[in-house]
Every structure is written in structure tokens, then in C-alpha cells.
Structure 1
């Protein structure tokens, strides 16, 4: 029993220590820096960029030589091939011209060591393919930059949400303290027989509501911390606390989506890739010029390298007609480019609408914040008056509880308005960020 008691005591101490882990303070600049270094979305975007770079290196084959070494063992009784093997081995004798032997040579072995070289010289269509691959790496680089900007948007937004939740927690704690003081006063009056049981129960209900609301907010703080940790690729389960962040619009407001924004620029570059691809397809009509060379060693014995021979040359090839394949491929690429152009214009229109909406939301949030500030001042004064009158027994419990609830709601709405204002500014920055 003593051992069990010690174990239970140690377990209780452990879980108590775990539950009392203090929150980790973090600044927005620190969160952004960690996300830029470790965020998984950014890592994946950089990997895609590396893949595009590797694909570009593959196109170096348009001017680099290709060299192949092979060793082949063969055996045949085919008359033509058997005599050819002997010729390649430089092993033909007068007896080999015997018609009986020519017609029935028997099994004839040949061991061929071969070194082959292919050297591209002029392939215009492949040259344009390389240019398209170069542009593709540029597109992926721009997309990576936009991914970094998008992660910045997400981290800032989660941080602002967390900041709002802590403001809501402070409001709720203040409201809970106020309700608890009302409860203490009401309980004292009830014990003295000066108030009814229904008044005390109403205050108790309000206390429970405030406690429940506080618990919900603290749970949301934990969830928002998990989201922030995920964006920063940090261990889960850490509760983060925020420093006060103040966002403001720049002095000169941009009201038109900039076309040099990274994602817009990526789409423009994509249009350029189609131009290059179309030219490359048309260039496939031109002749190709390539060189080749081959060196062989033939022997009738394994691992023999007796008779050596070579041949080399230059080949000019021209696909004169390919069943309209090239023409139709170019036509398809032109249509695909037209589709991308429409998507580009549609994207600009959508982003422009989003920018105007962000500016309107910002204006509405600022107006709402100002209006709520006046409402809060009036609600605070009304609560102060009702508290004095309540202590004198001149107003009902419902009146003071309603006033306290109204004040808490006004403060929460003001915090929400500030969150909406900062969220609009954050989104505005994302929409107008340029290279």
C-alpha cells in the first residue's frame, strides 16, 4: 500500500507539473522567421523548384555527346551471319569459300565489344525545348516566392486571431469577476433574507455562463496555438502568448492589383512558355544535323579483342510529312495559350474585386470600432449607476445582469472589430505585395 501511495503521489505530481506548463511568449517577427525557415508548404515549393532545375539540366543533352559501351556474345548457324562474323573477325580463309561450308557453317560464335558516340549538332526544336525549361524554372521560382507570401499571410492571421482571443479572455475574466462580486453581494443579501432565491439563482446562472465562456476561449487559444505551431513546423501542444501587434495601411494606398506581383508574373511567364513551345513545334519542320561514330572489336573467343574497325559520319534528317501531327500540335498549343490568357484576365478581375472588398471591410471595421467605443463608455456608466442602485435595492437583479452582459458583449464586439480591421490590412498587404 505504501508503494502504491508513492506511485500515485509521483503520478499526481507529474500530471500537475504537465498541466502547469507556462505559456511560451512569441513575437510576430519570430513566428514569421520560424515559418520562413521550417514551414512545410515553403519546403515543398522549394522542392518543386529544385525539380524544375533538374529537368533543365536534362536538356543539356541537346549539345552534349552520348557515349555507349557494350559487350555482346552471339552464336549463330545462319549462313549469312556466320560468314559476316568471320569477316568482322578478320578471320576468313580460302577454305571458308567452300559452298558446303557456306551453306552449312555450323555454330559460329562472335564476341563484340562496341563503343558508340552520338553528337548532336543542330536540332532547333530541342533548343526551344530548353528555352521553355528555363522559363519553367522561373515560373517555379515565382511560385515559391508567392508561397512564402501566402505563409506570411497565414501566420500573421493566426497571430492576430490569437491576439484577439487573449483580448476576449481578458474581457471574459473581467466580466466573470464582476458577476462574482454581484453574486457575493446577492448571496449576502439572500442570507439576510433581503432577496429572493430566484435572484440568487439568476446570478449563479450568469456565473456559470461566464465560466463556460472563459473555458471555451481558453480552448480556442490552445487550438490557435496549435495552428501557429503547425505553420512554424514546431512541436505540438505549446500554448503561445502574443505581444500587441498594431497594423496600419501605408501612406499611399494601392487600388489596382499590381501586375508585377509574383503569382501574376508567373502566369505571364507561363504565357511566354507557350510562345516558346509553339515556335519549337514549328521548328520541328526543319532538318536535323547530327554526327555519329562507332568502334568495334570482334573475336571468336570470349574476352577476345582482336579485329578492330570503325565507322563515322554525319546525318542530315528531315521529317517532310508526319501526318499533320506537327501542324495540329501547334494548333493545340495556340488554343491552350488562349485558355491561359483568359485565366490570367479572370485572375486579375477576381483579385481586383478582393482588393476592393478588403478596403471596404477595413473602412467598415474602423467605423464599427469607433461606434462601439462610444457604446462601451455608455454601457460602463450605465453599469456603474445600476450597481449603486442595486446595492440600495432600487433595481432588480435581472437589470444589473443585463447591463453587465451588455457591457461584456460590447467589449467583445470591439475586439472583433479590431481583428477585422487588422485582418483587412493583412490581406491588403498580401494582395499588393510586389517583387
Structure 2
């Protein structure tokens, strides 16, 4: 009986362990170590914003295909049935069918003909030859397509910057977690000493409580750091257009200070992709203006048709053709083309003003970014010095505390300051690296 009870207890225990393991598995997450280069390559191929920019460029290229109508023929085919006793149409249908006889000229039949059926097959061809307004419209479309391609390249450069920033944010989150865990290790070591002192009656209960509060504070900061890791990782997954459920990235490279000497005066690069796109867009307006002017030039087009007629279905007893060339002018269109011309001229002037403003704003932003890099570098140097001083101060206080010359509250304050200065130093490195990457993005 006792053996059976033990067996049942063992089964219950194994069931609990199995269920508990399933719960833990459900809450666990995979840590995926990945390098910056690998992520950047995947981002270029997968990012939604880059895809949208490329799709927009492809759309403009597809719209440009419509301009092929300026040199390709337009061909229509039709098969028409009609039945009429209208004197004019009846005589004409019979004439097209090549069935006119002497009797058909009888005035009585001409005035009141019998109903006649007509089956007509017709193939029409219209061939553009010279239409200068369409030529300029095509050139404007080509410029638009090129502009959108350049904008797509600039979008890719921006996403690359955004990715680098997100990757460094992930590096910072892991570095802060490491710093806090080191601080926790140091604090727990001090707590062990303080607990022993308290047991031996050498210190007051308040000092034990101080160190307990500090431990809880660090644990809370560690939880916050882990949350930041998940947030930074989720954003990287968003940039990659991938699901982040139960997955978290871990960078292969650690956050490091990327010191770089910059010129004192930052000069705007006129070959920058966005500036190129704005400047090139002016060409489209020039072609649109030329297109409206060309609407008053003569147009030369050819046309032709081949026709088959019969009074029976699917019969082709008679045929004929028509071919010609037409030279035409649009002498007056109610000032519609002139209005369009003035509209495009106004849009061109507006675009030129916007480009001037954008260039000046870009120069201001570049100057500001240059100063931000310099300010961030100063912050890194000062925070590094503060960290070194706080470490030395903690070392001195720790030695004095071990000799009984310092209070535990002073030691705790010194350790807290050292941990805080370490976090500030890592934050300063992150801010400098981001400022430097942003400056490079604006510069190139």
C-alpha cells in the first residue's frame, strides 16, 4: 500500500514538473547573436520603407511606358452588322458590297429601297509621325523616373543610418545590463560584509537597510535594462520586417567609442542624393513648359484602313482601303495650353524657391550635426574622467571601510556614484556614435 502511494506521488510530481517545463518553454525566448554587417545586408533586402521607395520608382517607370504611344501605331479591328432601309445608307452599303446594277439607279428604288443587311470587317491603323508635345512629355516622364530612383537611393541611405542607430541602441542596452550586473555583484559582496558586521553588533540596523534598498534599486534597474534590450531588438526586427515573438537579438560587437576628427567648417555636398533629386526635378518642369508650347506646332500623323463587306455573315465579297497623311495645327484651344504653361512656370518658380530653402536648411542641419559631434566628444572625455575618479574614490573608501574608518552609508554612496558614472559614460559613447553617424549621413 505504501509503495502504491509512493508511486502515485511520483507520478504527480513528474506531471507537475512536465507542466512546469512547458510553461517555462512558453515564456522563454531565443537569443540570436548577429553582427552589424549581417543585419545591414538583410535590412537592405527586407526593409519595408526601402521596398516602398523602390516600388514608387518602378511605378514611375511603368507610367513611362505609356509614352510609347508617341511612336507606335494604334491598331483597331471591328466587325459590324447593320440593317437599314435609309436611302443613303442602303445605297452606300450596296455600293461597298460591289452589288450595284443598272436597276439600282431607278428613282423609285433610290427613294424607297428595300431593307439591306451589311456585314463589315474593318482594320484601322493610326501612325504618329511628328508630335513634339508628346516628345517633351516623354522626356518629363523620364526625368521623374530618374528623380524617384535617386530618392529611393537616399531612402536606403537613411534606413541604413536608422539601422546603425538601432543597433547601437541594442549595444548600449546590453552594455548597461552588464554594468548593472557588475554593480549588483559589488553591492552583494559589500552586503555580505555589512551583514557580518551587524551580526557582530558592530553597526546599526539602518546601515543594513541602506544596503538592502540599494540591492532592490539595482535589481529594478536591471529589469528596466532587460526591457530596453527587448525594445531595441523589436525595433530591429521591425526594420527587417520580421516577427520578433520570443526572439531577441544580441550584438556580436560591443559598444565602442568611434573617435573621428572632423573639419571645423562643414561644407554641404551638392552631390548628396536628395539634393540631386530636387535639382533634377527642375528639368521636368522645363520639359512640361516646352510641351505646352509645342501644342501649337503642326502635327504629322498617318492613317489607314482596310475594309471587307458582304450582305451575308462571315462572307467577304468586297473590299477596299483608305490611306493618308494628315498635317494639323491647333490654332486656338481657348487658351488652355497657355494656362497650363503659366501653371508650370509658377510651379517651377516655387520649386526653385523650395530648393534654395532646402539647401540652406540642410547646411544649417549639417553645421548643427558637426557641433553635436564635438559636444558629444567633450561629454565622452568628461564622463570618462568622472568614471575614473569615481572608481578611485570607491577604491579609497573601500580600503578605509575595511579598516573601520568609513561608514557603510559612505561606501554605499561611493559605489552608487561609480555605477552611475559608468552608465553615464556608456550613454555618452552612444550619443557620440549616433551623432557621428548622423553627421556622415548628412555629409554624404
State the TM-score bracket (shorter-chain normalisation): over 0.9
Q: Distance in 2 between matches of 1:314 and 1:166?
A: 77
Report the CA distance between 1:97 and its aligned residue. 3.7
Task: Specify the alignment match of 1:301 in structure 2.
Answer: 312
Matched, 1:249 2:257: no
Q: Structure 2 vs 1, CA of residues 182 and 104 (structure 1 numbering), >3 Å: closer, same or farther? A: farther
Which 5+ residue runs of structure 2 have no aligned equivalent?
A: 1-7
8 Å contact from structure 1 (residues 254, 432) kept in 2:
no
Task: Select 1:353's aligned residue among 364, 374, 394.
Answer: 364
Q: Structure 2 vs 1, CA of residues 181 and 330 (structure 1 numbering), >3 Å: closer, same or farther? A: same
8 Å contact from structure 1 (residues 361, 420) kept in 2:
no
Task: Specify the alignment match of 1:117 in structure 2.
Answer: 125
Please list, as runs of the form range in 1=range in 2, the aligned pairs for 1:169-248 lying within 5 A after superposition.
169-237=177-245, 238-242=247-251, 243-244=253-254, 247-248=258-259
8 Å contact from structure 1 (residues 271, 341) kept in 2:
yes
8 Å contact from structure 2 (residues 303, 323) kept in 1:
yes
Q: Distance in 2 between matches of 1:72 and 1:19?
A: 73
Report the CA distance between 1:353 and its aligned residue. 1.2
Q: Distance in 2 between matches of 1:253 and 1:65?
A: 61
Report the CA distance between 1:175 and its aligned residue. 1.5
Task: Specify the alignment match of 1:416 in structure 2.
Answer: 427
Q: Distance in 1 between matches of 2:195 and 2:62?
A: 76
Task: Specify the alignment match of 1:64 in structure 2.
Answer: 72
Report the CA distance between 1:250 and its aligned residue. 6.5
Which 5+ residue runs of structure 1 have no aligned equivalent?
A: none
Task: Select 1:88's aligned residue among 89, 96, 106.
Answer: 96
SS in 2 for 1:249: coil
Matched, 1:266 2:286: no
| TM-score of the superposed pair, with normalisation by structure 1 | 0.93
Q: Distance in 1 between matches of 2:122 and 2:261?
A: 71
Deviation per residue, 1:45-79 (Å, 9 max, x gap):
22222222222222121111111111122223333
Deviation per residue, 1:76-106 (Å, 9 max, x gap):
3333222222122222234434444444445
8 Å contact from structure 2 (residues 257, 429) kept in 1:
no
Please list, as runs of the form range in 1=range in 2, the aligned pairs for 1:121-140 lying within 5 A after superposition.
121-140=129-148
Please list, as runs of the form range in 1=range in 2, the aligned pairs for 1:10-49 lying within 5 A after superposition.
10-17=18-25, 19-49=27-57
Report the CA distance between 1:240 and its aligned residue. 1.6
| TM-score of the superposed pair, with normalisation by structure 2 | 0.91
Q: Distance in 2 between matches of 1:34 and 1:185?
A: 51
Report the CA distance between 1:278 and its aligned residue. 0.9
Q: Cα RMSD (Å) of the superposition? A: 2.3
Q: Distance in 1 between matches of 2:221 and 2:307?
A: 86
Q: Count how many residue pairs are aligned between Structure 1 and Structure 2.
A: 433
